[in-house]
Structure 1
Amino acid sequence: MSALPIRRRWSLWVLAGLVLAYTIGLMVPDSGFNPFVDGFLSMAAGWTSVAVCWAAAYRAGRDRRSGRGRRDGHGRPEVLLAAGAVTANTLGDTYELIQRGTGFAGYPSPADAGYLLFYVLFLASLIVLVRRQLRGSTRTMILDSVVGSLGAASLLAVLLTPALNAAVAKPPTLGTAVAIAYPMLDLLLLAAIAGIVASHGPESGRRWMLLVSGLVIFTGADVVFALAPDLYLIGTPLDATWAIAIALITLWVDRSGAPRSTAGRGTGSMSAVAVPAVSILAGLGVLILASQAPVSGLAVLLAALTMAVATIPLIGRQRVLRVLSRTDELTGLPNRRAFYTDVPGRLGAVDAGRRSALLLLDLDRFKEVNDSLGHDVGDRLLVQVGVRLAGQLRATDLLARLGGDEFAVLLVNSGHDEAVLVAGKLRAALAEPFLLEGITLHSSASMGIAVHPDQGNDLTSLMRKADMAMYKAKSTKSGHHVYRSDDDSHGDLRLRTLQELRSAIGDDELELHYQPKVDLATGNVQGVEALVRWNHPTRGLLLPEHFLDLVEEAGLMPGLTRIVLNKALDQAVLWRAQGEQLTVAVNLSASSLVDRDLPDRVGAMIASRGLPASVLTLEVTEEFLLNDRERARDILTRLRALGVRIAVDDFGTGYSSLAYLRDLPIDELKLDQSFVFPMIDDERAATLVSSAIALAHSLGLQMVAEGVENSVAYNELVRFGCDSAQGYLVSRPVSAGELDVWLADRKVTAIVRGAS
């Protein structure tokens, strides 16, 4: 109470003192009515409660008029109704006190009118609370509140059976009606309490406990009085329970008229679960008791209603379970079960002479997102993909997530041309960047299309052919592909190659070839680029273009990258032992560069071999740098901090701003061979090469020219000031053993030329 205004705090202390004094006074044995205890203290406590309640109502009304009530929750009508209820109860007590003083004892009397009005007004206050609490609530929460109310009422009806039976047995008079009204209103009051508790409670903390405690004590006192009215004597401790209950309710009214605090809100969740459960047990117990002993019909009716309403959520949950069994829990789309269940019926309903198309969609390089950014980011990507796909389809189309990153679309009454058009729309929608965890991701998808009934009369055959078409789209990077008969053999070859590739990575069938880079100023070999080859047991030595796409599709690129780095660094150790101070360049795919652990892993590889970090150059593509510059800056900065050199491969082939040259830690640019090839015959191409070299030097970067195949291009690059060159003129990529021989021959040739 220390935070309350002084006047409010003083009035509450006065109320507490009066109730305490009244309670203690009732404990002292006396011969009957005590004017000080039963008269003065009782009335002082009652009217102090009235004053506190109306002061709270005044504050609430003032806040409503100032407009602050809407913002802070003030000015709530339950405060005014509760204040009126406390006033009505106190008026009843006052009239009864006067009645006892005059010796007039009529029944029913105006005191009963005050007491009954208390119930009516306070029930109205509770109704306002329940309505506010349940506004926007789920159907289950509302049903739980109803179950709690009915169960509590049925239990109380059993306890009040003697009083109800006695009242009903009397002649139908006003007194009989009043006698029946009291237990019925107690039932409603207890039902309202249980309903509020089951709906999580409208308040939290001590304020909420004041209301519940006060109402429970008040109802309990009423029940005791109803069960033994003839044994009741004025001035007994039972009178104190009503006074304590009214005081607790008054404290709740006082706090309800004050600014609401959000601290501690949300308590009572356990009660929200417990009350409906206890109420169901209570209803069941009442029904069992009714089969063994006389119980009022009202109690049986309330118990039966409790059990009936309790089954409604179960029915709803069964319906929900059926829906969930057909729904993908991540995206909310139909799942594989729903797709396989619904598609046959839709295919059968196709108009005569019309076609339907099945699109099978698989995200490209999705495994890299999961491996590098985590499954939670991958899940968010799938959700956004589902939203974008759904936005491009008609209401009659069926979109489903089959699992992982695989989606399926059924286009009813749509043939080949319509399916191709939709595939283009879906690809365009997915081409827009996704923003996840502050990272901009670019996604794409490969789609296989199969047309019904031309390429299959049932879903199984359509799925098989759409799947083969999808992998053809992946291998050719065409984005989408419509099934053709010759795709069957391609699918078999792909699956066989994929299995062999997995074995190759595990059985060390991959090897590196090295292409030397020459310093154009001195003619010396300064380093090599490591290029992977697959020594296939039956197909011979395979170049990267024959298997790297499949490596990407299968998510094997991280494993392949580790193999290449280990082999390249091991070879660098051997060359240094032979006196060759060669640097080694390794290409990294975009999928490898999204791995935040890459710098630490590379640093550990270099340190374990005792090599200087500058021995390694990592070549990255413009595509990665331009698609996710923030992530590129983070990873490349960490690699650069180790001492590893960074080169941009295929420079000049990007289509975006060159601002990354200013922002990112880069050491060298590798001019793409598409600029070097035409340089001899095309003056504009030569100008571009010269300008690119000048640009690199102005930024403090070195320029390496790729694809140098003749001496004319070589000499022009020397004239333009290019730093290094590699290409067939210098050497083709060769094995480490062949490179050793080539280097030895080159040294001999240099010695001979020097001697001559």
Structure 2
Amino acid sequence: MHLLAAEQSPRLRARVVAAVAAAIVCLHLGHLAVAAGAHVSIRSGVVVASAAVWAVVLLVAVAAPRGLSSAAAAALHVVGAVAVTADAVWSESPGHDVIVTAGLVSLAISAGALSSARASVVAGSALMLCQGTLVLSQQGTGPLGWYVAVSTVAVTAAACWVSASAREAWRSALADEATRALSDPLTGLLNRRGMVAHFPALRAAAPSGDRVAVVLLDVDAFKAVNDALGHDAGDQVLVAVAEVLRGAVRGGDLAVRLGGEEMAWVGAWPTAEDATAAAERLRAAVASARVPGVEAVTVSAGVAVAGPEPSASAPTTDADLLSRLLVRADRAMYAAKAAGRDRVEVAAATEGVSAAAPTAAASVHGAAAGLAGA
């Protein structure tokens, strides 16, 4: 989980590289201590040099103010791998080559986990070249030596592939879980959490001069459908309305099931009239839809349109704007219910969060003349 996050977070990536480097420096110090305690003659200067390289890697990772890029993390792995390979080849420490050969497998997997696909391929290839060089230096360049070297590199490549496949499967599972957490299981529309999560991006991407708006719709007489025909029929009605809504929204808009029989269309339009016309087209499309076994399906809709910020120095937050639009659209929707259902009502303009829209509860219904060309 942490390695997957490190792929996206430069600071977390730097912390992982620092932890790896610190562990390898400790292993070098342990190597020197054990060799001295066992009175084994080794070229300690080579071990110290390799430890110094990894100490530099540690300092670079710790000192990076904004963390490490994918390419930087891969490069540090390669530099360190070259150092430990030289250590294993020239330190003349019995059995040290076995430890380093195994360690290079771990470094290849680590580089792949922390880097982009391209950087991980380059780093992995460099690390496996180090591994093959180390094996050949110990086994010789005869047929058996080449067999051992190629086999070792092949096993390392397989381990890296398994690790990468597991990460991809885990990443996909996390993405599916995140999608489910932000979606309504019945209709496939966003749920409230999904709407809140995606609203800042929608607002930021709105063309200059366009106004963010919420069209809130409620299925008319939905309880009567459930009572008379059962909840399965009610679910079919919700799915049908959701399909109409999904077909109406544009790229970048949000189609949301707020709960029960309430849904919302969140988007940005040049004017309040454009948003109202879109709501009217949606209402008409729902009225034209057919659900087997249900006599007619209609919706009442309320439209709330944002307006100029009350203060350029203190802009309305995304959460506050969305909350106010939902409240106003909900009130307009209930006004549509009270006015006879199967209609659209526009919320009154309110300072800071509404447009210069029609005055309180101005309504449009059917193919009103003023909206026919919108």
Q: What's the TM-score once normalised by structure 1's chain length? A: 0.24
Larger radius of gyration: 1
Q: What's the TM-score once normalised by structure 2's chain length? A: 0.46
